[in-house]
Amino acid sequence: MSIGWAQLKQYLSRPHYWEDRPWAIFRQALGFGAITFAVLWFFEPFGFYQLSSAALLMVSLEISASVTFFICLNWWLLSRLFPNFEPADHWMVKHELILTLCTILLIAIAVGGILHVQDIIVLGSLSQAVKVLLNTALIALIPILIFVARDQNRLLKRHLKQAEQYTRQLQQPAATPGEALVSLPDENGKPVLQLPAERILFLQAAGNYAEVHFLDETRQPRRELLRNRLKALSEVLPEDQFIQCHRSYLANRQLIRQVKGNARNYELVLEGANQTVPVARSKAASVMAIIGKT
């Protein structure tokens, strides 16, 4: 039981693709609407078999339009209510499921209203409401499974293939002997950490602090927590050597050894580092262009 629960938690925490292009969201919503229309027209749930062809066509179109509308509405509301949230970099399967359940609930309410107005059902009891919700969920399950599976497989294959290409482009850079030390200060300008730039792996923002991940003299990974902003520290680093691959990460381009791909985007593997560095979707194109020139 515990193994099954652990596997479920692991699956729910897998990265999932977040679409941020309005036209692509609308196209996908139209796809959901079209599949919904086909299911309603051919399988005639909710007692639709009692309707005439004209009435069946009208009700199917109304419900399909509601599906398209609420999918677009939920995407728009999420982007407006949480403007500082970056779902492209944090979106997981569990988030997708929650959003999907909320969308199904809104669609079920709309479906119940349409069926009530058309005198197909009378929403006068809890059992009728539950029946509408369950039937809506079952109908929605078909396009949900189709689109989720398609997106996961398509994006995973694309990112894995491109990650392999980027990795092949990487060259082992020669170390620069006698490189000058980089002095990393705290927020008061006091030098706290002095390192050769070639041994700094990456910097990670942590609120008012920044974690500096580096290799010590024996090439073992270490980290130091500095009370300073990532933006301030970026100004003392060699501009042509460190790239902003994410809002919270600066990576040493000379130490990148591999690019990994997943369903969300890419991750950088740096020489000697004990963790990967994420690449924000908004920065993927520019970062990969820089890697191609490395």
- 18-27 per-residue burial string, b: 16 or more CB within 10 A, e: under 16: beeeeeebee
Structure-token pair, residue 284: 């993927």
Residues 288 and 186 in one domain: yes
The least confident of 85-99, 105-119, 171-185 is: 171-185
pLDDT reading at 74 higher than 80: yes
Q: Is the pTM of this model over 0.85?
A: no
- Residue ending a domain, among 138, 168, 198, is 168
Predicted confidence at residue 172, as pLDDT, reads 46
Interval 139-151: pLDDT, tens: 777 777 777 677 7
Residues 149 and 17 in one domain: yes
- Residue ending a domain, among 142, 168, 194, is 168
pLDDT reading at 294 higher than 80: no
Q: Which domain, by its residues, includes 189?
A: 176-293
Residues 152 and 225 in one domain: no
Predicted confidence at residue 153, as pLDDT, reads 74
Interval 103-126: pLDDT, tens: 888 888 888 888 878 777 776 667
Residue 47 CB burial class (10 angstroms; 0-12, 13-18, ≥19)? exposed
Predicted confidence at residue 173, as pLDDT, reads 47
